[in-house]
């Protein structure tokens, strides 16, 4: 079987349970699970073009609102964890002030998440139940090969489209590194619904780059919040330390992203009459092998 039944159906089942339990006291692990499974469901929806199988796109809209709300809560959980690891002699008061500011923000965002969940809960659970039934039908058709593995073919086509953009933008920097992470995450989420991959290293490398960029972005956000929360305007050693760590995280994330491209992309020149030849980066064979694993029987 080319598509993994568990990886396709699990996000839907998990989301139905999580949405029933959302309140202002949602634990960090539940918030993370809500975000993760929403991302995976969005990848499944796009990979299998579920809108063409009778699932209305409003489910993406409703889940998207929850994901964004949960993202704000999750970010503050992560930032609190980061802030709690920075200990500087003489900066204890600033550290307490920063943690207090993060806690207050977390409480506020948790209330907003709970309110959003109350608004969409009834309709969203019905939509997810219907989606589970449609996915089960598509998987059965895929197993029976009644439609020539249509579901797997749609997933593979989306994976190819995303893989072809690994070289975009041509140059990575502070301004586009985080948006590039979103591209990588989308490709990773589509590839993970395959029952097997011919090159697990590629998928692992995608995860490493995605996580490194995400960690840098989180430290950048912590720096920004510290500048707003702390009373110090100049000479705050805690802010200086946070900026130093953020810089190191950026350098590491950029290096991993560039290594990913060097490993899995190759340059191709396309010459035009009367114009200088253009250079673009295209995926190497391991990338195409990973995408075709969605079709492997």
Dihedral pair phi/psi, residue 272, rounded to 5° = -125, 150
Of residues 293 and 78, which shows the higher confidence score? 78
Maximum Cα interatomic distance, the chain, rounded to a whole number of Å: 70
Mean pLDDT of all residues in 101-124: 94
Q: How buried is residue 196: exposed, middle or buried, by Cβ count under 10 Å (0-12/13-18/19+)?
A: exposed
Record the tokens describing residue 178, joined without a space. 């985080």
Where is 275: in which H helix or E strand?
strand 275-283
- Mean pLDDT (whole number) for 217-232: 92
Q: Please check whether residue 166 is in contact with residue 257, taking contact to mean a CB–CB distance below 8 angstroms.
A: no
Query: Does 248 map to a domain?
Result: yes
CA 169 to chain centroid: 18
Q: What is the pLDDT of residue 133?
A: 94
pLDDT (tens digit per residue) in 244-275: 999 999 999 999 999 999 999 998 766 555 55
Is 242 part of any domain?
Answer: yes
Buried b (16+ CB within 10 A) or exposed e, 50-84: beebebeeebbebbebbbebbbbbbbbbbbbebbe
- Mean pLDDT in the chain? 88
pLDDT score recorded for residue 92: 92
Label residues 101-139 b or e (16+ Cβ within 10 Å = b): bbeebbeebbeebbebbeebeeebeebbeebbeebeebb
Query: Is the pLDDT at 198 greater than 60, yes or no?
Result: no
Up-side HSE of residue 280: CA atoms within 13 Å toward CB? 10
DSSP H helices in 170-236: 177-191, 200-229
Residue with the larger pLDDT of the pair 81 and 48: 81
- E strand or H helix at 280, and its extent? strand 275-283
CA 4 to chain centre: 20
End-to-end distance of the chain based on CA atoms, in angstroms?
5
- Predicted pLDDT at 10: 92
Q: What is the CATH number of the domain that holds 53?
A: 1.40.20.10
Q: Is residue 297 part of a domain?
A: no
Give dist(CA 82, CA 110) in Å, integer.
19
Does residue 30 sit within a domain? Answer: yes
Model confidence at 64: pLDDT above 60 = yes
Residue 134 lies in a domain: yes
pLDDT of residue 148: 47
- Give the pairing of strands 275-283 and 265-272: antiparallel
In a domain, 61, yes or no: yes
Q: Which residues of 233-257 are buried (b: 16+ CB within 10 A; e: fewer)?
A: eeebebbebbbebbeebbeebbebb
Total structural domains in the chain? 1
The percent helix, strand, coil of the chain (3-state, each to 5) is 70, 5, 20
pTM of the model: 0.83
Does residue 78 form part of some domain?
A: yes
Contact (Cβ atoms closer than 8 angstroms) between residue 166 and residue 187 = yes
Owning domain of residue 79: 5-292
| Of residues 169 and 149, more confidently modeled | 169
94 C-beta neighbours (distance < 10 Å), count: 20
Asked, for residue 245, whether it belongs to a domain, the answer is: yes
- On the question of pLDDT at 297 being above 80, the answer is no
Task: Tell me the mean pLDDT in the region 135-151.
Answer: 70
| Whole-number pLDDT of residue 171 | 93
| Res. 146: pLDDT tops 90 | no
pLDDT, average across residues 143-150:
59
Instruction: Report the pLDDT value the prediction gives residue 103, as an integer from 0 to 100.
Output: 96
């Amino acid at each position: 079987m080319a598509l993994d039944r568990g990886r396709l159906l699990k996000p839907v089942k998990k989301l139905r349970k999580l949405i029933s339990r959302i309140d202002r006291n949602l634990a960090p692990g539940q918030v993370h699970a809500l975000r993760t499974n929403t991302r995976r469901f969005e990848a499944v929806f796009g990979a299998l073009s579920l809108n063409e199988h009778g699932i209305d796109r409003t489910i993406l809209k409703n889940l998207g609102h929850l994901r964004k709300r949960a993202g704000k809560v999750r970010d503050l959980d992560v930032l609190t964890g980061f802030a709690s690891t920075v200990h500087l002699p003489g900066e204890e008061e600033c550290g307490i002030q920063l943690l207090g500011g993060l806690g207050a923000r977390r409480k506020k965002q948790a209330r907003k998440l709970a309110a959003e969940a109350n608004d969409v809960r009834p309709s969203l659970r019905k939509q997810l139940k219907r989606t589970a039934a449609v996915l089960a039908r598509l998987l059965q058709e895929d197993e029976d090969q009644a439609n020539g593995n249509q579901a797997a073919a749609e997933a593979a086509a989306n994976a190819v489209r995303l893989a072809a953009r690994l070289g975009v933008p041509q140059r990575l920097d502070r301004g586009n590194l985080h948006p590039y992470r979103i591209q990588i995450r989308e490709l990773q989420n589509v590839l993970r619904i395959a029952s097997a991959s011919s090159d697990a290293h590629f998928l692992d490398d995608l995860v490493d780059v995605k996580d490194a960029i995400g960690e840098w972005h989180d430290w950048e956000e912590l720096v920004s919040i510290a500048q707003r929360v702390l009373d110090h305007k100049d000479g705050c050693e805690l802010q200086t330390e946070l900026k130093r760590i953020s810089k190191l995280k950026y350098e590491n994330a950029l290096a991993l992203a560039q290594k990913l491209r060097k490993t899995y992309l190759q340059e191709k020149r396309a010459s035009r009459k009367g114009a200088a030849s253009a250079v673009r980066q295209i995926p190497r064979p391991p990338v195409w092998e990973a995408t075709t694993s969605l079709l492997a029987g």
